[in-house]
């Protein structure tokens, strides 16, 4: 059998039929990787550090000899591990990559080819994929932005839009964060900035590759927890049509109570303290006292008023807001009801 090297374009065309093996170290993989890749490292973190240092100080041959010493004893186990992965995906071919498509991927590709797997190697490795990811943020997209004050059930409405066969990207899902000071409570750890960008690039590509249908996304700040939307993409989003779901304050307060009312009070207090400078000392004190007294609805109303003011300020900073803005009044936060109001714009 022969090992075939493929370009990033070939990879994108065939990736659904590939088992993607990332042979970089666990630390490299954990920082960021190609979505859906499986980490099957050639070296541990410590071994990679030793080999890398030898390469710089003594040259290629010394590094290879030491690397062979580390990997030689693990070859049987490595093949068995890949074999177990392959059995679950037996209709797929194997793609191997490292950082630059160099010695690590070449070594693993040789071993797996020798064993009998049909192997592909990604040209220039993860570095090439990363370059491709960043390029996705410079393209033009047909966005429609779903807006609304906090508590408007925008995420659930976005899910209904997707169910109705429309293209959507859930930024909060990709970021593992709901966007406010309270948005990380109960969420998994956020991805690194680089990993968030890789996930977002994949969504942009998949939602735009077959048609020019609008892509619906929720109106967000540029910063979502600890990650940021790429600036060029953010600028494009801010110039896209905004569909503002206008739901009464009391209804939104009831929705927020459903979402946050059962959460740990200490976590809610900590989140409130994080916005104390902007909320103001008096409002912060009152809000925290309400939380301590389990008067959650009263605390929510203070916080909602704060976030409403911030949203209005951010919305007014949009270029050509009047040309962009469509306001859709609704008496409820029920997404099934609200999608009926959005039908004309889908």
Domain covering 140-345 in this structure, CATH number? 3.40.50
Count of beta carbons in the 10 Å neighbourhood of residue 287: 26
98 annotated active-site:
yes
Task: State the pLDDT confidence band at 256, using cuts at 50, 70 and 90.
Answer: very high
**Which one, of 345, 141, 334, lies nearest residue 244 by Cα?**
345
* Beta carbons within 8 Å of 204's beta carbon, 6+ residues apart: 136, 137, 139, 141, 169, 215
**Which one, of 56, 271, 302, lies nearest residue 178 by Cα?**
271
First CA to last CA across the chain, in angstroms? 50
Is the whole-model pTM more than 0.85?
yes
Q: What is the CA radius of gyration of the chain?
A: 25
Give the tens place of pLDDT for each residue, 78-104: 999 999 999 888 888 999 999 998 889
Task: State the pLDDT confidence band at 181, using cuts at 50, 70 and 90.
Answer: confident
Task: State the pLDDT confidence band at 1, using cuts at 50, 70 and 90.
Answer: low
What does the domain layout of the chain look like in residue ranges? 4-134, 140-345
Could you give the count of Cα atoms lying within 13 Å of 167 in the half-sphere of its Cβ?
17
Q: Which two tokens stand for residue 233?
A: 């993409």
Lowest mean pLDDT segment, chosen from 32-46, 143-157, 251-265, 307-321 = 307-321
Q: Which two tokens stand for residue 209?
A: 């590759």
In the block, residue with structure tokens 């693993």:
108
What's the whole-number mean pLDDT along residues 167-187? 92
Query: What is d(CA 176, CA 174) in angstroms, rounded to the nearest whole number?
Result: 6
Strands 18-22 and 93-97: parallel
CA of 341: how far to CAs of 132, 138, 155, 327, in Å? 38, 33, 16, 11
Tell me which of 3.40.50.1460, 3.40.250.10, 1.10.390.10, 3.40.190.80 is the CATH number of domain 4-134.
3.40.250.10
State the catalytic residue, choosing from 19, 94, 95, 98.
98
User: Does the pLDDT at position 265 exceed 70?
Assistant: yes
User: Does the pLDDT at position 320 exceed 80?
Assistant: no
């Amino acid at each position: 059998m022969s090992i075939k090297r493929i370009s990033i374009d070939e990879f994108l065309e065939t990736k659904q039929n590939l088992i993607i093996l990332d042979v970089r170290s666990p630390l490299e993989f954990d920082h960021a990787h190609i979505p859906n890749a499986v980490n099957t490292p050639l070296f541990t973190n410590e071994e990679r550090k030793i080999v890398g240092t030898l390469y710089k100080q003594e040259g290629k041959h010394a590094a290879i000899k030491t690397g062979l010493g580390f990997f030689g004893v693990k070859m049987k186990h490595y093949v068995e591990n890949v074999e177990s992965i392959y059995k679950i995906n037996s209709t797929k071919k194997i793609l191997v990559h490292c950082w630059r498509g160099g010695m690590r991927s070449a070594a693993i590709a040789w071993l797996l080819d020798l064993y009998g797997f049909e192997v592909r190697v990604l040209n220039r490795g993860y570095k090439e994929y990363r370059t491709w990811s960043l390029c996705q943020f410079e393209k033009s997209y047909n966005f429609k932005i779903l807006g609304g004050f906090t508590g408007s059930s925008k995420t659930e409405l976005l899910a209904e839009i997707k169910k109705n066969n429309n293209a959507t990207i859930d930024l909060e899902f990709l970021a593992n964060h709901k966007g406010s000071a309270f948005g990380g409570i109960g969420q998994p750890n956020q991805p690194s900035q680089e990993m968030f960008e890789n996930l977002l690039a994949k969504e942009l590509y998949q939602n735009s590759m077959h048609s020019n249908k609008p892509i619906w996304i929720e109106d967000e700040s540029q910063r979502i927890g600890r990650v940021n939307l790429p600036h060029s993409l953010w600028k494009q989003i801010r110039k896209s049509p905004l569909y503002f779901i206008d739901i009464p304050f009391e209804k939104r307060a009831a929705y927020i109570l459903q979402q946050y009312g059962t959460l740990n009070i200490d976590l809610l207090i900590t989140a409130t303290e994080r916005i104390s400078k902007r909320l103001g000392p008096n409002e912060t004190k009152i809000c925290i006292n309400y939380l301590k007294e389990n008067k959650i609805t009263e605390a929510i109303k203070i916080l909602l008023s704060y976030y409403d003011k911030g949203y209005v300020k951010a919305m007014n900073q949009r270029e050509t807001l009047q040309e962009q803005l469509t306001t859709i009044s609704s008496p409820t936060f029920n997404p099934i009801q609200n999608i009926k109001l959005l039908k004309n714009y889908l």
